[in-house]
Chains A and B, each alone.
Chain A
Amino acid sequence: MFEIQVETGGLVKLSGRLDAAQADRAKKTLDTVRESATLDLTDLDYVSSAGLGVIVNMFKRLRDSGHGLKLTNLKPRIRSVFVYAGLDRVLSLE
């Protein structure tokens, strides 16, 4: 089960399991975000490299158009996946 919700003010809430089977759906929604954004990961239970790839793609797209991306409220196990991938050195994890 994976859910993604775009709210006002550039806030995007992700919940459930962002795996390879859900990555395309996540990308389609995230591609609609055109300005600086915050991903609220409070209810994200699982992420794999496919999900990381979608988020990195969003980060690069926003950066290249002069905007920023922040990730907030990561569970420890979600944060550790970003760290293992070396993405904590690239992305803003709060």
Chain B
Amino acid sequence: MVERRFPRRLGSLGPMARFVAEYVDSRGFDPEHSYTVDLLIEELFTNMLKHGKGGGPEVSLKLGGEREELILTLRDFDVESFDPTSAPPSPPPIEEGGLGLRLVQRISDSIRYEYVDRSSIITLTKRFPL
């Protein structure tokens, strides 16, 4: 796994995408897959910003796996627990809210939430069959 920390603010989306592009390029993934990974990270990260009460100055993003399967872990420090995997079912697509989690649930292959030492930790896997 490769870890990098980013300021806990929306402006980190660009630097996160560059981190993803570097990782995808170095581990034999199709470069096109970086857009999918960016989307999963953005939806989880913005969900943290919106619903995670508290929060430290930075979040941790870890990327692992190669070629066919990517594992990503986002950790939000010093925050109250908010489990996105237990969120209520998404409303119809044209209604407000819920779109981001709908995308994460449909695109990812697995998602796990843990709350450890006042940190919200989300681990997600995405397979890219060759």
Number of A-B residue pairs, CB cutoff 8 Å, is 59
For chain B, what secondary structure do more than half of its interface residues adopt (helix, strand, loop), or is it mixed?
helix
Please determine whether B35 and A77 come into contact, CB atoms closer than 8 angstroms: yes
Stretch at the interface among B53-61, B80-88, B95-103, B110-118: B95-103
Chain B, residue nearest A22 (CB): B13
Q: Which of A21, A49, A52 contacts B10 (CB 8 A)?
A: A21
CA distance A8 to B46 in the complex (A): 35
Per the CB 8 Å criterion, the residue count for chain A at the interface is 22
Q: Which of B11, B36, B103 contacts A85 (CB 8 A)?
A: B103
In the complex, what residues of B have CB within 8 A of residue A35's CB?
none
CA distance A44 to B38 in the complex (A): 15
Give the shortest distance, in Å, between B39 (CB) and chain A (any CB).
6
Selected from A19, A59, A77, A85, the residue in CB contact (under 8 A) with B42 is: A19
Cα-based distance from A50 to B43 in the complex (angstroms)? 9
Contact of A56 among B10, B35, B94 (CB under 8 A): B94
Contact with B along A13-26 (1 / 0, CB 8 A): 00001011100000
- Chain B interface residue bracket vs A: 20 to 34
Chain B residues 13-60 with CB under 8 Å of chain A are 13-14, 17, 32, 35-36, 38-39, 42-43, 46
Residues of B within 8 A of A72 (CB): none
In Å, the complex CA distance between A50 and B106 comes to 17
Contacting pair A90 B103 (CB below 8 A): no
Among A20, A21, A48, max chain B CB count under 10 A is at A48
What is the CA–CA distance of A17 and B18 in the complex, to the nearest angstrom?
Answer: 13
Residue pair B10, A20 in contact (C-beta under 8 Å) = yes
Chain A residues within an 8 Å CB radius of B46: 20, 48, 50
A53 within 8 A of B: yes
Known: A48-B103, A90-B93. 15 other contacts (CB 8 A): A17-B17, A19-B13, A21-B10, A21-B13, A21-B14, A53-B96, A53-B99, A60-B94, A77-B35, A77-B36, A84-B106, A85-B99, A85-B103, A86-B102, A89-B93
